[in-house]
Amino acid sequence: MIVAAGQFVVTPDWRSNASTCVSLMAQAADRQAALLVLPEALLARDDGDPHLSVKSAQALDGEFLALLRAESRKNRLTTVLTIHVPSSAGRAINTLVALREGEIIARYAKLHLYDAFNMLESEKVDAGSVVAPLIEVGGMKVGLMTCYDLRFPELALALALQGAEMLVLPAAWVRGPLKEHHWATLLAARALDTTCYLVAAGECGNRNIGQSRIVDPQGVTIAAAGEGPQLICAEAPADRLSQTRAKLPVLRNRRFAPPRLR
């Protein structure tokens, strides 16, 4: 099947951001993609206000997702993204949603909050506690992750041991010394750890790196974006997955018990 990742600069205006998401969804559908991954925290962003996305939080039945769900009804494209959903006064949950045919078919509350590199996501965001169930797209089982989750191999491995053949990762990877290197290295590592395809979309702009990537089960980048707005697509054939797992059976060769995640 064809998979896609779209990146853009998230603005302070949620209506503008919704319009961009709708445009990327239409473009991905035109390219016959079965799956589109968009970046993390798409409601609103402002370089001068790190908490704007939380302040702009909307319910899952709010206006932002209503616009995306309307576009989703036009085809069978599965679209994955995250938005902040209100949890309590001044706080929110960084919530991944998967849309298909106008419906939310899965959701996931980000497990690992970005309390690193002098940032503190947990100051305004509540962490999830449950690994999301797999979804099926184009005959492949897909596991759901969000941004900082990439640094925790046990989550990717837990999803692979449940049967995931592809992992998706909406992200807003913050710029900084060696951060681009970490991004590329970790994407390849998680693909190799699990022998899964990995489709990662990164928000771009002054603060975040963009650099969306589609990586195959042998850690090979088969499509990559630069720093600016872009839609990338790649074929993700099932036989590449089966051939890789036949000659590199790391999931069967494991000697340790599966990681136990709540």
User: 147 an active-site residue?
Assistant: yes
User: Is the Cβ–Cβ distance between 145 and 167 less than 8 Å?
Assistant: yes
Instruction: Choose, from 21, 40, 124, 203, the residue flagged as catalytic.
Output: 40
Burial of 76 (0-12, 13-18, 19+ CB in 10 A): exposed
User: 233 an active-site residue?
Assistant: no
Dihedral pair phi/psi, residue 25, rounded to 5°: -65, -45
CB atoms within 10 A of CB 122: 12
Q: With the C-alpha atoms ordered 205, 209, 211, 216, is the resulting torsion angle positive or negative?
A: negative
Instruction: Choose, from 71, 110, 165, 196, the residue flagged as catalytic.
Output: 110
CA atoms within 13 A on the CB side of 118: 4
CB atoms within 10 A of CB 59: 12
Place of tokens 């990762």: 169
Residues in the chain: 262
**What is the identity of the amino acid at 247?**
K
Instruction: Choose, from 21, 71, 124, 147, the residue flagged as catalytic.
Output: 147
Place of tokens 């589609």: 214
User: 110 an active-site residue?
Assistant: yes
Dihedral pair phi/psi, residue 78, rounded to 5°: -95, 125
Q: Which residues are catalytic?
A: 40, 110, 147
